[in-house]
Amino acid sequence: MRKAPHRSPVAIFRLADWSNDTDEVGIRMAAGCVGCYPSSVQEITYQSSSFFDDIAASDSRYVHLILIATKPDIIKQVPLYKELVARGHLAILGHTGQHYDENLSGGMLKEFGVQPDFNLNVRGQMHEVVSQIIGRLGYVIGELKTRGKVVIPYVHGDTTTAMAASNAGYCHMFASVHVEAGIRTLTPDFAAWGDAPIGTDAWRTFLQERIHWKRGSMEPYPEQFNTRCSEAGTGVHLAPVELDREFMLSEGFPDDRIFVVGNSVVDATKEALARINQSTVFDRHPALAEGNFVRFCIHRRENCVSESRFRAIYGAMKSLIEEGRTVLLINMNQTKAALTRFGLEEDIQAMARKHKNFIFTDVWPEYVDVIAAMSKAAVCATDSGSMQEEMNVLAVPCVTLRFGSDRSESCMAGGNIIAPPVESGAIKSAILYAWDNPQMRSAPKIYGSNVSAQCVDAVEKVLASGDVFRAEEARLFPR
């Protein structure tokens, strides 16, 4: 938790004062009646045994609760957290524990110099994680509420945590600030396109026209469900682009609570670029230093549980490797599961041994390594939403390995094309078309600048006239 010294009559504990070796074990149930709550809330760990008392001692009415859970959350939420701290707000960082190992969470927290004030330590299957987040976070928020605080949860994007955390806050009549709000999947009008090849200028031009995109997709799963649920419990919608604002207006959300601010991945990416000389990625993978490679990212559930989809992507990648193209594949958790599920583990290990142009590696724990490597890529072939944004920031051509995109604005801008995971040859053709494509590299940057500052500006504007949770009379008769 961070708080400007002049805003509080007592010394508030600070994240920067704690080493990464801080022992959280046993610092549980820092306040409240342990016996009054289900045993699951006893799994919550705190950086300080006086967590609730320290917050209660602050003279700030509002507690800005920034929630992180996944690697993209950390990348995009930490700049916002730091902006709130810099302005003197009472800001605390909460981790649900959805991503918990060193490569997906711990390394990046160290890199950014922050540690969560509490960790919900959720584990299990999706339905178990959802229920644990609602129950455990609901407990934390409830304890703060009993101490007279108004909690403002900041949830990010389309994660399970965003959906469940918004629910937990809303149960206490606290509406969320939804960072990266309104992202909805659009699908190209394949009927209008017909059977023409997709690795062409014509396909890219087709995708640049808004009229050629259709609504109605619920992929990716469960992310499109998550973001829609989050929206219902939100009081401040921070949309990355105007298209997202249009989606939310069409769904009935109030115009005066939707702010087009850009995407905070811009702040994180630019910060990483500023210290790119600290990266050691090229020492570990010298082939990447020469550039002229494609990074593959295959981790969407729908691509990794469908054998036909996964094999279509895998086949395109294998063909590029065998032709001598330099290929980087990050072996993410869903990727590993798919390789096992479809009997491809031995095949991919054999490729890694045989082809020096194939870099097959686990997730890198530090963001600066990701940005250093991707800044030299010729193209990125991905099913990730965040990577579509990052490639726009870095001016790297992108090929999205889905039937549509929840960042379709990047296709409309001209730097991204869709390659449906149907047929390996077509996917390969799209990647080769995008490879170091100068027109795609020159696509306009669409995700703004100084985004975290704009996000906090929007929240402060709302708080100047009321709370984030708004009663009906306040909506109808604003003062």
- The pLDDT tens digits of the residues spanning 365-394 come to 999 999 999 999 999 999 999 999 999 999
Predicted model pTM: 0.91
* Token output for 199: 């690795």
Number of Cβ within a 10 Å radius of residue 463: 17
**What is the per-residue pLDDT for 479?**
75
Domains of the chain by range and CATH? 5-185+220-262+449-476 (3.40.50.2000), 270-441 (3.40.50.2000)
* Token output for 166: 């918004």
**What is the per-residue pLDDT for 20?**
34
- Are 208 and 444 in contact by the 8 Å Cβ rule? The answer is no
- The pLDDT tens digits of the residues spanning 40-89 come to 899 999 999 999 999 999 999 999 999 998 888 899 999 999 999 999 99
* Token output for 132: 């644990």
Query: CB under 8 Å, gap of 24 or more: what pairs does 121-125 form?
Result: 121/43, 121/44, 121/45, 121/97, 122/96, 122/97, 122/98, 123/97
SS3 414: coil
pLDDT, average across residues 25-47 = 62
**What is the per-residue pLDDT for 1?**
61
**What is the per-residue pLDDT for 6?**
31
Q: What is the DSSP string of 61-91?
A: SEEEEEEE-SHHHHHHHHHHHHHHHHTT--E
Categorize the per-residue pLDDT at 478 as very low, low, confident or very high, splitting at 50, 70 and 90.
Answer: confident
Distance CA 359, CA 373 (A): 12
**What is the per-residue pLDDT for 19?**
32
* Residue indicated by tokens 């023409």: 196
- The pLDDT tens digits of the residues spanning 284-336 come to 999 999 999 999 999 999 999 999 999 999 999 999 999 999 999 999 999 99
31 pLDDT above the threshold of 70? no
User: Residue 95: enclosing H or E segment and its boundaries?
Assistant: strand 91-95
Distances (CA, A) of 153 to 66, 216, 261: 6, 29, 18
SS3 173: coil
Categorize the per-residue pLDDT at 3 as very low, low, confident or very high, splitting at 50, 70 and 90.
Answer: low
Q: What percent of the chain has pLDDT over 70?
A: 91
Categorize the per-residue pLDDT at 7 as very low, low, confident or very high, splitting at 50, 70 and 90.
Answer: very low
92 pLDDT above the threshold of 90? yes
pLDDT, average across residues 253-278 = 96
Distance CA 276, CA 62 (A): 36
Q: What is the mean pLDDT of the chain?
A: 91
17 pLDDT above the threshold of 50? no
